[in-house]
Structure 1
């Protein structure tokens, strides 16, 4: 019977290995990757590969042939360009003349000449009469020379400026020249400040006619600080003299604008979907040429588009495979998160997401292109976040954005319509950020609402940046984008149980459901073994804190801890935490039997968890949390009994070890440490902080020396972090029981 039982166990293990072997099979992996390429190729082919027809010249067509894209009508386009050029208004440009510099030259000359006693008053008047107008022309000519060829102003604009400015030059009255020689340096200084200020202010506006600004000079001068009448009169005349027009007809810019208007005139096109040739219509040369322009003739085989699409699909695959390899390298090359099972699930998510897009695309028309915004494009990203990985969801969102920009493209003249791609990226990332820490089913609905809001906002932004559609179309577009998020949430809620059951996925949502105290096993644990239940809750608190400290799955540790000792419900009285009201039954039975009972709780727990269909990660924690640890108490008790009976022991230390396996994951190892630490602290009457810390390090070191962490990837640094976190958590949980040193102040204890 024993041999038969061993054979059955071996056969079961062989089947399990065979079943799990495909998950790591290289052949299966390459088949799945090939399926990704085929998915991208065949889902995008109808949208990017051109259709061709066997059409004969001067023969009737056997079908209606529609334009697959917009094509330009050359003759009508030329007429539209000429009309657009005629409608361009002349362009006027501003030239910064800075005529206040001219004023400064005039005042400098006046100051020099007025101080020269060798020159008579009449000669000074004559000099002013000849030099000041000439200074005006020289200033303009110098400005033209200094700016010619430097790229600031074009030559035609400078020529136009010089002509207009000289034509509008102000003629200073004769009597002003007679007053100028009488001015002192102090008067000139005050006048210069006022004149320059007025000119600078009036020239700050754009002036096509200088006279417009010159009429305002008198008012500004009278409001100035100048008190002498003569000074005010001269400043008025000099300010009018210095004011020039600064806005001129720019012939070259006007010509360039007319050329640009021609270039920017949208071509007159034959619209996509317009019937080029009707069924039964004889194809003449003009029709034949038009069909040729559209690339609709099967005159010669063209395999380049198919090759391009295949390359496109391979590039998509490279993005996915590159990320999987990168994630694999980060985890030590073990592919822990991305077995073939996960890759199969990822492929299925891609199929469902692209299928949903394609179904919505069937309802999209040229008159209602906005129907495409209804597609639940964020569904794939949300499923990947909850079932696989946040980073993989971000990478996939990028791919889904490209796919949607192809599938929903209504402009066959180009491959992509990034209006849809941009919206897909926005809603996908919004959903990722809203759901990546989901702990309840309602979080999916919240993520859907976030996708709705961000989707509506992105669509509205796109609309406002372009040509505004009709009000009804605007409302429908935003409404479809909003409905997309809600549809996404509904589909994700419906699909999550399918993936969880089919692939045995333990999502955060599933873990939260399993932590419900109303679960039959947890109710059984509470009612039949309250001591074990309390122990499990404490272990859950400890293990969750330790796991989160090193970046492991804290929620899995907590829920796994709730179920890790469920096997004790079969024989509750044999475990010390449940022996409050009666004697320890181990005192009256053989150590070997005690050992068998204690060890059996792990195996019994796994069987109970299997019977209730709990996910494998939970079962693994129940099976592995003791690893192959040594039951020292019962071993030494057996040695003592053998010694007292005068018999040679017929057992070894290996007979008093748990059968294992050792912890295969960080989570199982952490639960095992927390299990031992909680039991040890509970057994201490009045522990001190030093005793707690010493006990934690002793337990971890003992397991480390015993090789219990050899099959999981915990590092020594992580073990130190776990020890520190467990100490802090225990102090928080058992605060009232832990004795503090006398020199620790109450405030420090509270901290």
Structure 2
């Protein structure tokens, strides 16, 4: 029974469920779980730091090393404080214009002394109250003006006002009694001298006003003033207006200290540094450091594990989605068996393991060693052994994982320069190898990987800011070596996968198609007719298989070996009976049937003895299915009727033992085998004869339920028939009569 492309018969579904571990859904999900575990544990050392079960106040049982760079906050804060303490106080000079103040006081004295309406006593009282007030007003005015102009910060002005008022000089009482005695001429001279003395002293940096005031007497005595009273008053007024002009700038000091803290490098434990030595007591500070660094076995630090598990599941979902779309999960006839999924898992293991090994050679100074990783190994193996599209999808997973495993940075999870490198070399490998037909093609693909990998690395490095010569050369050299290493590993691993999983890669099929293979050479020398027939079947079946999306190369090579069993008794097969009598004419039909059907079983035994892969053995065993040898059945029936014997056998006794075709390829070879023999038997074939014969053979096998156990559809059978017709017309072009030729011949013969 054949499916129309939309549904499967119940018997096929039940059989699919019982085909063993290779098709078991439970085994599929176990393999999916293995993928999750592979991704999780491969990335865990690079993402999840090791944790320790320790308690505060106990001695550490072993050295605890930093899995990555860890900042010691307490030590960093202490270092910052130490740096801040080393910064001296900052002072700022504030110009108070003290010379203007002394000039204003003397000018006021002159005005008041000239006023005859004011008594001497009143003048004294005014001097006693107004002069100290002018000092305070002058300081306040400086503060106000400075704030409005923004010349100095508020903190500095407040400090200036405070110190100026604290160090204000007190004029002796007797000085006020002498002031009314001064004349205008004396005050004029006094203003000049007082102003110069104050300017000279205030040009120096003064923290303590008393220190500067000690110099006033000497400067006054050295001045041009000759009047004793005038000198005494100038001396007291100069002392009075002198103030500090160098003040502690708190804001500037704090800014300098904060800058010093910012400039202090953090105290860190570098990757691999010992944080806690074996036997060291876990102090509260150490415990907090370990806790803050997520190095303690604490439930609240399970986020990295959860995140990695989610990422691993996402990788598997990507695989599942592709496999589901390609019909490998949930279908009756999966595109990939569990055996192939297990092989895919092993490829992932090997590829990830090689990347891990290279990652061990990386250091901070030689991170470019990561470009040596043969990251294209997995993509190349998947392309050769499984599927090109699956290899492309796997390339992206390898790129993501490689960018984590090869990452040497402690500040990010992915290093996409390695991810970009891996995706470039993987895709280069996929598109260089997917049509490979010889082992040497692997080496050529490796060279392509080397070239594209080197170009990718060169491009990335040329775009970076720091282009150091030696790392640049080493990076390109490692990237080039990566491609060659990939080719070597693929060549070495291919036989392992082909033998272990019975995989027939395109390379293996091409090797088996070599005419110098012992079995093909035996077929050619001992049964040339069968050899020619096998080659013709190969041509027909390859085109037909490709028309329905099956493996054309497998059909071709399987056709070469499908009749190898005939070499045991070559003369019993018509294509080898050249100039000899047919031995079947002299033996019983049942014996003839036994000899004919034995060639399938004999062929399987010979193929197994020569370690020919199972898919080819299956074609040899299944290409006849359980079809009937009707010629010998009817011959036996006729002989029994002629001899008057009772017919004690049925047509089923004259059938091949099977099994029926289990794959599209076996079914296609079986149809092509029958069609080629039938066409060869036609004396004057026409296109109509060929087409009718092909349809008859396919319908006969369809009615005989020969396709019940493979997933051929009616639509695919139509495509097979069309392909066979086109191929036969091309191969037997000279023998086939076209309609016009046939009509012409018929008219000629009737004349």
Name the SS for the 2:305 alignment partner. helix
Distance 1:300 1:524, change over 3 A: closer
Name the SS for the 1:646 alignment partner. coil
Partner of 2:309: 310
Q: Is the 8 A contact 2:402 2:419 kept in 1?
A: yes
Name the SS for the 2:633 alignment partner. helix
Cα distance between partner residues in 2 of 1:707 and 1:283: 79
Is 1:69–2:69 an aligned residue pair?
Answer: yes
Partner of 2:30: 31
RCO higher in structure (CA 8 A, sep ≥6): 2
Partner of 1:3: none
**Structure ID, larger Rg:** 2
Name the SS for the 2:657 alignment partner. coil
Distance 1:555 1:278, change over 3 A: same
Partner of 2:551: 553
Deviation at 1:341, TM superposition (A): 1.3
Partner of 1:666: 664
- State the TM-score, normalizing by the size of structure 1: 0.67
Cα distance between partner residues in 2 of 1:568 and 1:34: 47
Cα distance between partner residues in 1 of 2:263 and 2:550: 58
Name the SS for the 1:596 alignment partner. helix
Distance 1:416 1:591, change over 3 A: same
Q: Is the 8 A contact 1:629 1:658 kept in 2?
A: yes
Partner of 1:738: 736
Cα distance between partner residues in 2 of 1:513 and 1:453: 28
Distance 1:606 1:276, change over 3 A: closer
Q: Is the 8 A contact 2:17 2:24 kept in 1?
A: no
Distance 1:577 1:360, change over 3 A: same
Partner of 1:251: none
Name the SS for the 1:581 alignment partner. coil
Name the SS for the 1:413 alignment partner. coil
Name the SS for the 2:702 alignment partner. helix
Cα distance between partner residues in 1 of 2:723 and 2:298: 75
* Paired residues for 1:40-439 under 5 Å: 40-52=39-51, 63=63, 65-66=65-66, 68-69=68-69, 272-273=270-271, 275=273, 294-296=293-295, 302-328=301-327, 333-439=331-437
Q: Is the 8 A contact 1:69 1:411 kept in 2?
A: no
1:630-676 Cα distance to aligned partner (Å, 9 max, x none): 21211111121111111221111111111111111111111111111
1:261-287 Cα distance to aligned partner (Å, 9 max, x none): x9xx99977695385859699999998
Cα distance between partner residues in 1 of 2:696 and 2:60: 93
1:147-172 Cα distance to aligned partner (Å, 9 max, x none): xxxxxxxxxxxxxxxxxxxxxxxxxx
Deviation at 1:39, TM superposition (A): 1.6
Cα distance between partner residues in 2 of 1:543 and 1:306: 53
Is 1:613–2:611 an aligned residue pair?
Answer: yes
Cα distance between partner residues in 1 of 2:711 and 2:272: 64
* Paired residues for 1:522-671 under 5 Å: 522-671=520-669
Over the residues paired in the alignment, what is the CA RMSD in angstroms? 3.3
Distance 1:305 1:571, change over 3 A: same
Q: Is the 8 A contact 2:269 2:275 kept in 1?
A: no
Distance 1:702 1:295, change over 3 A: closer
1:21-78 Cα distance to aligned partner (Å, 9 max, x none): 22233443333333222222221111111245669799999858547137698999xx
Distance 1:326 1:62, change over 3 A: closer
Q: Is the 8 A contact 1:69 1:294 kept in 2?
A: no
Cα distance between partner residues in 1 of 2:51 and 2:592: 82
Distance 1:574 1:274, change over 3 A: closer
Name the SS for the 2:31 alignment partner. helix
Distance 1:268 1:694, change over 3 A: farther
Partner of 2:220: none
Distance 1:729 1:295, change over 3 A: same
Unaligned 5+ runs, structure 2: 1-15, 84-258, 743-751
Cα distance between partner residues in 2 of 1:309 and 1:491: 30
Deviation at 1:290, TM superposition (A): 6.6
Distance 1:272 1:715, change over 3 A: same
Name the SS for the 1:686 alignment partner. coil
Q: Is the 8 A contact 2:328 2:335 kept in 1?
A: no
Deviation at 1:384, TM superposition (A): 1.3
Cα distance between partner residues in 1 of 2:60 and 2:701: 87
Q: Is the 8 A contact 2:43 2:404 kept in 1?
A: yes
Deviation at 1:356, TM superposition (A): 0.5
Q: Is the 8 A contact 1:55 1:297 kept in 2?
A: no
Partner of 1:688: 686
Cα distance between partner residues in 2 of 1:266 and 1:728: 83
Distance 1:266 1:546, change over 3 A: farther
Partner of 1:234: none
Cα distance between partner residues in 1 of 2:61 and 2:339: 52
1:118-149 Cα distance to aligned partner (Å, 9 max, x none): xxxxxxxxxxxxxxxxxxxxxxxxxxxxxxxx
Cα distance between partner residues in 1 of 2:264 and 2:584: 95
Name the SS for the 2:327 alignment partner. helix
1:400-456 Cα distance to aligned partner (Å, 9 max, x none): 111111101111222111111121111111111111222111121122122112211
Cα distance between partner residues in 2 of 1:319 and 1:294: 33
Deviation at 1:590, TM superposition (A): 1.1
Unaligned 5+ runs, structure 1: 1-16, 80-261, 745-751
Distance 1:722 1:287, change over 3 A: same
Deviation at 1:578, TM superposition (A): 0.3
Q: 1:512 aligns with which of 510, 513, 518?
A: 510
Deviation at 1:593, TM superposition (A): 1.1
With 54-63 and 506-515 compared, the bigger mean Cα shift is at 54-63
Name the SS for the 2:437 alignment partner. coil
Q: Is the 8 A contact 2:542 2:556 kept in 1?
A: yes
Partner of 1:479: 477
Distance 1:419 1:643, change over 3 A: same
Partner of 1:114: none
Deviation at 1:391, TM superposition (A): 2.2
Distance 1:645 1:366, change over 3 A: same
Q: Is the 8 A contact 1:67 1:294 kept in 2?
A: no
Deviation at 1:308, TM superposition (A): 2.2
Q: Is the 8 A contact 2:685 2:737 kept in 1?
A: yes
Cα distance between partner residues in 2 of 1:341 and 1:566: 28
Cα distance between partner residues in 2 of 1:448 and 1:622: 36
Count matched residues: 542
Q: Is the 8 A contact 1:55 1:61 kept in 2?
A: no
Name the SS for the 1:23 alignment partner. coil
Cα distance between partner residues in 2 of 1:346 and 1:272: 38
Cα distance between partner residues in 1 of 2:666 and 2:312: 40
Q: Is the 8 A contact 1:550 1:721 kept in 2?
A: yes
Deviation at 1:375, TM superposition (A): 0.6
Partner of 2:243: none
Q: Is the 8 A contact 1:687 1:737 kept in 2?
A: yes
Name the SS for the 1:348 alignment partner. helix
Q: Is the 8 A contact 2:457 2:479 kept in 1?
A: yes
Q: Is the 8 A contact 1:61 1:278 kept in 2?
A: no
